[in-house]
Every structure is written in structure tokens, then in C-alpha cells.
Amino acid sequence: MMGARGRRVLVWLLLALLGSLALVLGIRLRPVPKVTIPSLPPQSLVVSYLKVGQGEASWVKTPDGRFLVIGAGPPGAGGHVAESLAAAGAQQIDLLILPYPYNESLGGAQELIARFPIKAALELGWEQVNQRQQETRDALLKRRVPIQIGRAGQAFELGPGGRLDVLFPHLPFVARTPAAANNALVLRLTWGNTHFLWESGLERAGEQALLALGQELSADVLRVARFGNAGASSPELLHLVEPQFVVVSVDDKTGALPALSTLERLRATGATVLRTDTQPRDLFFFSDGQQVTQAL
């Protein structure tokens, strides 16, 4: 029989062989990051904002175990989103929301579609805008996932005291180009007396159109539009939102994002401003229906 030393030698030989094969085939072997999440309080709503670089990826878990995903992250991030969901106990995705047809929102969608049963998907509609969007739609249709078109006025009930409202876009569209970020889905989640707002892809023109609708925008947590670009999160919007926490999903090595002017406006609200690129892990918030608490 092979002794312990012999087994260790065999393991190292196998690893060396795999490494050599990877080099020959041009495959990069990267370690799979360990996904950890804090202990989830029972009977609380959980909202996570994931570290996916320059991308859109959040998930929501209701006390009765339903999961909503808002954005699938950029290409290469789908694995992290999937592992985070699995670590939280997800067996399926009840609603997969794709806020706009850009890589930062759609890139990881196919990994989620392959990994989890999905009860329904919500997107902007229109004919094909780009190849990534069509591939995502094809994957959803192959799995027979119903695809709904998101428009202002829609609402999804999440049990007693819970609701997800689509606040935007509203007809007529802000921009004629279907892929324009100013036509993106804007979402507000209500849980008891607490609220979460996703500003999605809006820039200045889209935000002005949203404000013109006169809808309720107050929220305990605001997820800022597209990496804190200079055109969104105006003083007018921030005055209506009055956030306790602000989340900026960003990883811009050039330093251009988030824009300095936007950061100044966000800090002027007195809210706690959290950037995903400076956090050691994904961000988690809990709501008991009366207050929102950040998991530290």
C-alpha cells in the first residue's frame, strides 16, 4: 500500500500535470474566492450589494426565503453572485431583474441561469440591442423562464409589508436609443417602514424625467446610479431620498469614478457613504420593518 508520503507526492504530481496542461491549452487556473456572509437574523429582510467591480449586482432575501436578484454583474462576476446566493441558502431565484442591457448588468446572467431555477425575469424589452442581451434572452427562453417587461407603475408583492415597485422607465422614453442608460429600470423596495432604492443606470436626463413623475423616493439605503457618475444623484433627488446609507458600486482604476462632485453631494446628505471598492467584503443590510442595520 502507498504510504502518506507517497500519496503527497502523487497529489503534487497531479497538480503539476494539471498546471502544465493549463499552460498548453492557454487556460488560467484561478483560485475560487471564498464567499462569506454574516449570520442572517431570522424574520428580517436581507439586502446585499456585491463586490463585482464595475457592475450592478444585488440580491434580496425575504424572511420567507424568497430571493430577488437585481443585476448579474459584469462578465466573470456571475460565479461570485451565484456563490453568495448559495451561501445565503438560495435554492432558486424568484425574480431576476436585469436593469439595462449593458455588460455591467448582464455579464454574469448566464451563470445564474445555469446554476439556479428562475421563476421569472424582468427586463426593459425592445428588440435585440446587443449580442450579450440576445444570449441572455436565449438562455432564459431555453430554461422556459417567463420574461416580463418593466415599466413604471408595476409592483411585486413580497408578503405582508413587502413590495417592490418599478418607478422607471415611463413612456415616452427619455432616449430613443433602446440601450440608453437613461431608460433603465429604477426600483424601490418597501419592507414595513423601511425602503431601499436602486437608481440603476440613470444619468442627468433620466433622473430629471424620474423626478418629474412626482413619485415617492424616500429610502434608507440608496444604490447610486452607474458608479457615481457626475450626471446623477442631483441635490434635488438626494433631498427627496434622504438616505441613511449610500452605496456606490465601483472599481475604476483611473480614479474618474465616482465623480468628485457626486461624492461631495452624497457626503453633504450626512449619510454613510460606502464604496464597494474600498470594502473588505460584500455589503449586507438587515431590515426588521422599523429600521435598517448594516452588518459589520
- Give mean pLDDT, residues 223-244: 91
**pLDDT at position 18, please?**
38
Alpha-carbon gap, residue 126 to 67, rounded angstroms: 26
* 97-127 tens-digit pLDDT: 999 888 999 999 999 999 999 999 999 887 7
pLDDT at 23 > cutoff 60:
no
Asked whether the bond before 258 is cis by omega within 30 degrees of 0, the reply is yes
pLDDT at 277 > cutoff 50:
yes
**pLDDT at position 145, please?**
97
* 177-217 tens-digit pLDDT: 756 788 999 999 999 999 999 999 898 999 999 999 999 99
* 26-55 tens-digit pLDDT: 333 333 446 778 887 888 999 999 999 889
Ordered by start, the domain boundaries in the chain are 31-294
The closest alpha carbon to 141, from 165, 168, 123, belongs to 123
Q: Please give the CATH number for the structural domain made up of 31-294.
A: 3.60.15.10
**pLDDT at position 271, please?**
97
Contact 66, 162 (CB under 8 A): no
Mean pLDDT of the chain: 86
**pLDDT at position 128, please?**
67
pLDDT at 171 > cutoff 50:
yes
- Give mean pLDDT, residues 237-264: 88
The closest alpha carbon to 248, from 223, 265, 270, 269, belongs to 223
Q: What percent of the residues of the chain are helix, what percent strand, and what percent coil, each to the nearest 5?
A: 30, 25, 45
